[in-house]
Amino acid sequence: MIVDTHCHAYWEGLGDREAEVRANMLAAGVARSVQIGADLDSSRMALALADRWGDGTWCTVGVHPTDCQDLAAETAGAVVRELESLASSRRDKVVGIGETGLDYYHLTKGAEGAQKETQRVFFAAQAALAQKLGMPLVVHTRDAAEDTAALIKGSGVRRAVIHCFSQDIRFARELQDWSDGVYFSFSGVLTYKSAAAVQEVARALPLDRILVETDAPFLVPQAVRGTASVNEPAFTRHVIDFLKALRPEPPETVESAVWENSHRFFGLPLPR
């Protein structure tokens, strides 16, 4: 049994064929999912989907770095207060804050400095909210490993997941040592031919710190790249199968450990 710990099944390409996406998931053994918010609107959509799908579906609320970089940094407080009221009024469904983080890949030429600063302000505010509510933080990072590690440590956050892990072993070790509440989530990127460094990390980390995800509708895993144009939660199956082949433990041990990790990290109730 599998949890897709990070997807956006409410977005175009998936949200418009929701019943089919849900049926595909369940048929693939992906029994549970965490729907991730990327701004205020999509956080509300993630919560609405968690309500529609009922048991086995949860969500997070947050603002992605690329989605906040053109806002005024002074608006962070008001935006995060909105996130707080969503999260604290729906603790039955909202299980984390994010995705937040730093993305230096999608900056606008000429505005880099201001955009980085705005991303940092929103990141720090969401990290503080996660700590206030006792919730884990979902972190996106691209071309910003050093600043991301510094921000996590500076914020004092101890429970965080580096989602769609695509950094190197040094970054992983630094955060692994920072807190045993930092987890690492692998997506379809793990399965790409160009991902030797990411595969090395997935092999080297302690098994009890690993999660899997799709980040659907993005990042179709290698096994279905030729046939699927849109990623979907069912394809978490391909990510975990790839992970099982990489790891030294028996395959069934890997799958059950990752299942338990997902529940422990997000504080999800295990099925009766």
Q: In the complex, which residues of this chain contact Zn ion (CB under 5 A)?
A: 215
Kindly state the smallest distance separating residue 41's Cβ from Zn ion, in Å. 15
Kindly state the smallest distance separating residue 272's Cβ from Zn ion, in Å. 30
Q: How far apart are CA 38 and CA 64, in angstroms?
A: 5
Kindly state the smallest distance separating residue 109's Cβ from Zn ion, in Å. 24
Residue with tokens 């921000």: 151
Q: Contact 91/130 with Cβ under 8 angstroms? A: no
Nearer to Zn ion, 98 or 247 (CB): 98
User: What does the block give as tokens for 224?
Assistant: 């279905």
Residue nearest to Zn ion (CB): 215
Q: How far apart are CA 167 and CA 145, in angstroms?
A: 7
Q: How far apart are CA 240 and CA 246, in angstroms?
A: 10
Nearer to Zn ion, 4 or 215 (CB): 215
Nearer to Zn ion, 142 or 158 (CB): 142
Phi-psi region of 101 (alpha: psi -120 to 50; beta: other; left: phi over 0): left
* Secondary structure of residue 142 in the 3-state scheme: strand
Nearer to Zn ion, 39 or 147 (CB): 39
Nearer to Zn ion, 67 or 215 (CB): 215
Kindly state the smallest distance separating residue 62's Cβ from Zn ion, in Å. 10
Give the strands of the sheet with 2-7, arranged side by side.
2-7, 30-35, 57-61, 94-103, 137-142, 160-162, 182-186, 210-212
What's the full length of the chain, in residues? 272
E strand or H helix at 3, and its extent?
Answer: strand 2-7
Q: Where are the beta strands (DSSP E) in 56-103?
A: 57-61, 94-103
Nearer to Zn ion, 15 or 200 (CB): 15
Kindly state the smallest distance separating residue 209's Cβ from Zn ion, in Å. 20
* Secondary structure of residue 212 in the 3-state scheme: strand
Kindly state the smallest distance separating residue 34's Cβ from Zn ion, in Å. 10
